Structure 1
Amino acid sequence: MSGVAIADRGRLIWFAMRRGLAHVAGRLVVLRPLAALRLTGRGERIAIAPQSLRTADPTRASEIYAGRFALAGKIVVCDGRSPFEMEPPSADWAASLLGFRWLRHLRSAETAGVPRGSARALVEDWIALQGGWHPVAWRPEILARRVISWLTQASLILADADMRFYRRFLRSLTRQVRFLRWTAADAQDGVPRLQAHIAITYAALCMTGQARHLRRAVRRLSAELDRQILADGGHVGRNPGALIELLADLLPLAQAFTACNIAPPPALLNAIDRMMPMLRFFRHADKTFALFNGMGPTAQDLLATILAYDDARGAPVANATHSGYQRIEARQTVVLMDTGTPPPLSLSADAHAGCLAFELSSRQQRIVVNCGLPATGKGNWRHLARSTAAHSTVTFNQTSSCVFHDTRLMRRVFGTLVADGPRRVVIARDADDHAEQVRASHDGYADRFGVIHQRTVTLSADGRRLEGEDIFLPARGEALPPKLPDEFAVRFHLHPAIRATRVQDGHGVMLTLPTKEVWSFQSHEDRVDIEESVFLGGRTGPLRTIQLVIHGRARKAPRIEWTFALTAEPAPATASARPGREQTTLPR
């Protein structure tokens, strides 16, 4: 392991120790009345309740009122007991429950026939059972989500409340905010830590007794935004979904500043302005995000709400060098490609080994995808989903291009991190009137197998043809090492909606889309196998699908060429066409 990696590992161990100390400090709050007294404030009240951009579902409201909590893919029926007394079926379920984001569904209480006091009763239950201390509920990343949820739903929680509950609610919220100020720096790096600073800033704006902390909160939030939001608008953790998650909180935060007659900090506005175009960068024509680095199903309703705030509505950039992605778009065809190195060690818990993987979509249909990660039950799939084999790129000797650091201590505190991977990714773009091309290479296999993987993709100007080339170059010298294994597999995972039919010569496959388009896949000199795969990025859970695979040995076949081509597309409706039926032009 390199010196930099050793230094990173040392920082992580120190961070784990700090989190442990924060845990002990929290327990002391309960054990020492004087310490607990310092966490309460006087004179606080809710001045404003920020807007929540997340939609409310009346059906979910009815389920919650009936004591049925469906969270993180698990269902718990409370049978008259408080949900905070129940044994959590999973850690994700507990985190979802204690983060209180589900509280928004009770906004639709009247539509769902739910009494108005239901939200207040559930909050009161939590204060009574866990408001003093709880090892999970008081973790800074969960605490931040709860603070934001309570503030955005304050009008719902406090509707028709008596003064006794109002004071109890404010005391609990003040106590949580002050504890979060102590522990925000110990939140998991990345989105959770940024959300902790967002929550503290929300509180400083919305609670009268917290206003004196606003300047410090803004300074720390600005520093975290500058660190985490890259120059091209991507997130430093390289998960496209982080943009949706963060903008859902940052946009209302900017409005809260305005509502308080305070100019939003420049770092906040600049971060939003950079992030907005990247939403369009990662989006296919079917409105879903490309499945890179921990991205799962796209929350399309939330994404549409966020995009409504984008006044510029400009075309997305093509070359997101800071984030490590490339986009090629021609007519109604989109190619998105991962051309980045892994994020820093402390931010790599969601990073995938998918360097040079790409996704292809035509009109409203994705064709080539990565496996992605499911919205629920991530723990069951995470190891598979992060491997190189789960991406539409090349695997070498059945290994991933990244090495994952997986020890019990690190996994418990941070998750499985990327200890090593591609350190140098070289990218070149070229375009003329006929086509646009991206050529990239990475050295993720250089140390282990002495090989550099280079991939070139070229999309024609009319969007009807994507030509690709994978080359295996020696990392050192003029030839690949003779004594090291050289097996490779070039993988193209297909969306579950695609129907594949093998061409008789074994070098090609016909792909039929639900839109009645027909694309052909050809490997000019190599056999194409059709193998099983799984698609994890769907809204309904994991789905079986297939992948096209070209197997070979790099010393024997150092260059693999392949092509996706549109061979038939739906004919436009004509006056003579029968109503309700589409005409299709068949391939010649």
Structure 2
Amino acid sequence: MNRIAARRAARARPVTAFVSSPEPRTIGSFARGRQLSAGNFMFAGHLVERPDLQLWDITPPDAAFEAEMQGFAWLDDLAAASDAPARACAQRWTQGWIDRYGAGRGPGWTPDLTGRRLIRWINHALLLLAGQDKTASDAFYRSLAQQTVFLGKRWQASAPGLPLIEALTGLIYAGLALEGMQAHVPVAARALGRECDARIGAGGLLPTRNPEELLDVFTLLTWAAAALEDAGQTPPPSLTAATARIAPTLRTLRHADGGLARFHGGGRGLEGRLDTALAASKVKARQKDGLAMGFARLSAGRTSVIVDAAPPPSGAASARAHASTLAFELTSGRRPLIVNCGSGANFGAEWRRAGRATPSHSTLVVAGESSARLGSGAQAEWLTKGPRHVPVQMSQASDGVRFEGGHDGYVARFGLTHARTIEMTFDGRGVAGEDMLLAMSDADKRRFDGVLDARVMQGVPYQIHFHLHPEVDAALDMGGAAISLALRSGEIWVFRTDARSKMTLEPSVYLEKTRLKPRASKQIVLSGRALEYAGRIRWSLAKAQDTPISIRDLAQDGD
């Protein structure tokens, strides 16, 4: 149906022009813009180096690479570079798309990709039309109108959530900017309001619990609202209410360095996008209890800790979710310290599955097994048999703030409940934690006894992982009784534990979608065996005593 609608739209010959042009709000990367104009095409974790070819002559290595090509988000990067080679590439590749795919052919004629492409073409119209002759300008306007006609027919075919919001935002942009397309605006605005009511929960919650996806949705909603206001129209109340719900949630999910917590397939977010979107929303509220979208936040000084404090997503929403219940990340100032490995989706199926497993997160693992399991058959990517009861509490400690939580993800297999307590001092210089494995009910104790018998009373092995950011320099200290962690800012943190577990420093990886390969890093691992109905492991992270209260961290990444 997309193909039929695309070809019908391509036969239309509306003569149109800009009525108004929304102020460009997209943020690109200067470095990526320079790389693109030099012929280095990096999309979806793949690098194709072909300076001798134009973009559309490249054979995409996979569907994700092709989708990024067709979505035109790379225009943001070329606009950020904005030198002569970048402008020439932007114009040449846009005209190349019109010549090759403008007649309704190719993989880019889907509602969400068309919406994404329309936003970029309209945002960067001045860049794309500068110095162009009348023939090229007419072709550009005609293609814009044809894509708008297509989107007006097919937006309802978008998948719910982010794809539909992207399609509707693109339709609002085009309807407001293009002559003769204004009739699409009320329909798209009402549909966007309905989607906000249906998909964004009372606490700014997305079913996927992916912080970066929430940022993408929030960004699109702020763009749509700003475009309507610039045109003298009032955004639907549902849209305004949705942004008011999401903004406090994103503030809770933001680390001290401004990046998002990396959970459930999400990354840190493009630098500057979160702050820009929050400023554009004009919503200044915060979550008062430190809990948002199933995450808990502790912060003091320039230190932030964010904990996954809810069951993982279920059903179709769990297709990219991770088994990360009670995992946490810690950031000090501009420097991440404790992290999760992240999403390996850009590095192939094996890395994707490894990144979703519990051992790839900074939490406790029983017998090397994940707290949630992958399904089978048609639901092979869905999470099943995961934690369902995850009680949490935020409170004041004697010298700071405290998080307490637990989950039942290991009860069915081992009879053990994992409970975790994390306390942070008021000055943010110290974090103390306690992990417990508990057989709580009589049924749990019988199950645990059965597991012990099957293991010939050798105990149930466990490991507590603390994955370190690649830029953290870790070394055993004090004769192996502690591990010193040096940040590039000059801060020194010291990790200690009690004598109930063995402490080792082991290899790890850090998975970033903006890089071609996983980055090598390290992890602290506490290991032992559960032999009783109740066992606890205490650990602490504290700044070294000679670390100043405040450090001017002005070093640029990459220095």
Return the offset for 1:352: 0.9
After TM superposition, give the deviation of residue 231 of structure 1 in Å.
2.6
Q: 1:585 matched to which residue of 2?
A: none
Equivalent residue for 1:454, pick from 419, 430, 437: 419
Q: 2:522 aligns with which of 542, 546, 552?
A: 546
Q: How does 1:117-156 map to 2 (within 5 A)?
A: 118-134=89-105, 136-156=107-127
The 1:550–1:572 alpha-carbon spacing in structure 2 relative to 1, beyond 3 Å, is closer
SS at match of 1:263: coil
Note the 1:66-85 alignment, pairs <5 A: 67-78=39-50, 81-85=53-57
Distance 1:104 1:527, change over 3 A: closer
| TM-superposition CA deviations, 1:180-202 (whole Å, max 9, x none) | 34443443443223212222222
SS of equivalent residue, structure 2 residue 183: helix
Worse-matched range after superposition: 471-480 or 222-231: 471-480
Q: 1:490 to 1:312 in 2, by over 3 A?
A: same
Quote the Cα distance in structure 2 between the aligned partners of 1:537 and 1:71: 13
CA drift at 1:532: 1.4
1:247 maps to which of 218, 234, 239: 218
SS, match of residue 484 in structure 1: helix
User: Aligned equivalents of 1:442 and 1:528: distance in 2?
Assistant: 24
Cα deviations by residue, 1:324-344 (Å, 9 ceiling, x for unpaired)? 000112233322100122224
2:456 aligned residue: none
Aligned partner of 1:17 in structure 2 is none
Question: Residues 496 and 161 (structure 1 numbering): CA distance in 2 closer, same or farther, change over 3 Å?
Answer: closer
Matching residue of 2:387: 422
For 1:291 and 1:386, how far apart are their aligned partners in 2?
12
Paired residues of 2:19 and 2:177 also in contact (CA < 8 A) = yes
Measure how far apart 1:398 and its partner are. 1.5
Q: 1:404 aligns with which of 374, 381, 398?
A: 374
In the alignment, the residues of structure 1 paired with residue 257 and residue 527 of structure 2 have an alpha-carbon distance, to the nearest angstrom, of: 31
Percentage of pairs with the same residue: 30
Query: Does residue 327 of structure 1 match 2:306?
Result: no
Q: Give 3-state SS (helix, strand or coil) of 1:371's partner.
A: coil
Structure 2 SS opposite 1:490: strand
For 2:421, the aligned partner's letter is T
Task: Indicate how the Cα distance of structure 1 residues 554 and 97 shifts in structure 2: closer, same or farther if over 3 A, else same.
Answer: same
1:289 aligns with 2:256: no
Report the counterpart of residue 26 of structure 1 in structure 2.
2
Distance 1:137 1:285 in 2: 38
**Cα deviation, residue 100, structure 1:** 0.8
Contact 2:319 2:383 in 1 (8 A): yes
State the Cα distance separating 1:483 from its structure 2 match: 2.5
Find out whether 1:90 has 2:62 as its counterpart: yes
| Residues 39 and 174, structure 1, Cα contact 8 Å, conserved in 2 | no
Aligned equivalents of 2:226, 2:535: Cα separation in 1? 54
Alpha-carbon distance in 1 for matches of 2:231, 2:546: 54
CA distance in structure 1 between the partners assigned to 2:543 and 2:450 by the alignment? 43
Shift of 1:80: 5.3
What SS does the corresponding residue of 2:525 show, helix, strand or coil?
A: strand
Residues 197 and 312 (structure 1 numbering): CA distance in 2 closer, same or farther, change over 3 Å? closer
| Aligned pairs (5 A) from 1:369-408 | 369-373=339-343, 376-377=346-347, 381-405=351-375, 407=377
Distance 1:205 1:422 in 2: 46
Distance 1:252 1:61 in 2: 23
Number of residues of Structure 1 aligned to a counterpart in Structure 2: 542
Structure 1 stretch displaced more, 98-107 or 511-520: 511-520
Q: What is the CA–CA distance in structure 1 between the aligned matches of 2:186 and 2:549, rounded to whole Å?
A: 61
Partner of 1:299: 270
Pairing of 1:163-174 with structure 2 (within 5 A): 163-174=134-145
Equivalent residue for 1:481? 448
In structure 2, what is the equivalent of residue 534 of structure 1? Answer: 509
Classify the secondary structure of the residue corresponding to 1:329. Answer: strand
Distance 2:421 2:29 in 1: 45
Partners of 2:224 and 2:213 lie apart in 1 by 17
1:393 is displaced (CA, Å) by: 0.8
- How many angstroms apart in 2 are the aligned matches of 1:340 and 1:517? 32
1:106-140 deviation line (CA, Å, top 9, x unaligned): 4367x522385653432222122223344532233
SS of equivalent to 1:276: helix
- For 1:534, give the aligned amino acid: V
Kindly indicate whether the alpha-carbon contact (under 8 Å) linking 2:298 and 2:401 is maintained by their aligned counterparts in 1: yes
1:114-263 equivalent positions in 2, closer than 5 A: 114=85, 118-134=89-105, 136-263=107-234
| 1:48 corresponds to 2:20 | yes
> Aligned partners of 1:83, 1:429: CA distance in 2, in Å?
52
1:147-181 C-alpha deviation (Å, 9 max, x unpaired): 22222223333334455444433443333334334
For residues 197 and 424 of structure 1, do their structure 2 counterparts lie closer, same or farther at Cα, with a shift above 3 Å needed? farther
Would you say the 8 A contact 2:491–2:547 is kept in 1?
no
Q: In structure 1, give the amino acid aligned to 2:71.
A: G
Of 362, 366, 371, the residue aligned with 2:332 is 362
* 1:563 corresponds to which of 532, 539, 550: 539
Q: TM-score, normalised by structure 2?
A: 0.85
List alignment gaps of at least 5 residues for structure 2: 453-459, 554-559
Separation in 1 of the partners of 2:272 and 2:552? 30
**Residue 241 of structure 2: aligned partner:** 270
Moved more, 565-574 or 121-130: 565-574
SS at match of 2:261: coil
| SS at 2:208 equivalent | coil
Q: Distance in 2 between matches of 1:197 and 1:124?
A: 24
Worse overlay, 323-332 or 269-278: 269-278
Q: Distance in 2 between matches of 1:135 and 1:409?
A: 29
- 1:491 to 1:479, Cα distance in 2 relative to 1, 3 A: farther
* Structure 1 portions without partners, runs of 5+: 1-24, 412-416, 575-579, 583-588
8 A Cα contact 1:61 1:114, kept in partner: no
Q: Which residue of 2 aligns with 1:525?
A: 500
Aligned to 2:455: none
Please tell me the residue identity of whatever aligns with 2:225.
Answer: A
What is the RMSD of the two structures over their aligned residues, measured on CA atoms? 3.4
Q: Which moved more, 1:249-258 or 1:539-548?
A: 539-548
Aligned match for 1:336, one of 301, 306, 321? 306
Question: Offset of 1:390 from its aligned partner?
Answer: 0.5
Residues 359 and 169 from structure 1, CA distance in 2 versus in 1: closer, same or farther, beyond 3 angstroms? same
CA distance in 1, matches of 2:206, 2:47: 32
What secondary structure is seen at the aligned counterpart in 2 of 1:491? strand
- Aligned residue number for residue 457 of structure 2: none
| Equivalent AA in structure 1 for residue 534 of structure 2 | P
Q: What is the Cα deviation at residue 62 of structure 1?
A: 5.2
- SS of 2:418's equivalent in the other structure is strand
Q: Which of 333-342 and 384-393 deviates more?
A: 333-342
1:431 aligns with 2:406: no
Query: 1:113 and 1:27 mapped to 2: Cα distance?
Result: 36
Secondary structure, counterpart of 1:114 in structure 2: helix
Q: Kindly state the Cα deviation for residue 44 of structure 1 after the two structures are TM-superposed.
A: 4.1
- Quickly say closer, same or farther: Cα 1:561–1:56, change in 2 above 3 A: closer
Output the TM-score relative to the length of structure 1: 0.82
On the 8 A contact 2:346/2:513 being kept in 1, the answer is no
The Cα shift of 1:294 comes to 1.4
Structure 2: distance between partners of 1:573 and 1:456:
25
Aligned equivalents of 2:281, 2:191: Cα separation in 1? 26
Residue pair 1:440, 1:455 contacting (<8 A) in 2 also: yes
User: Which letter maps to 2:325?
Assistant: C
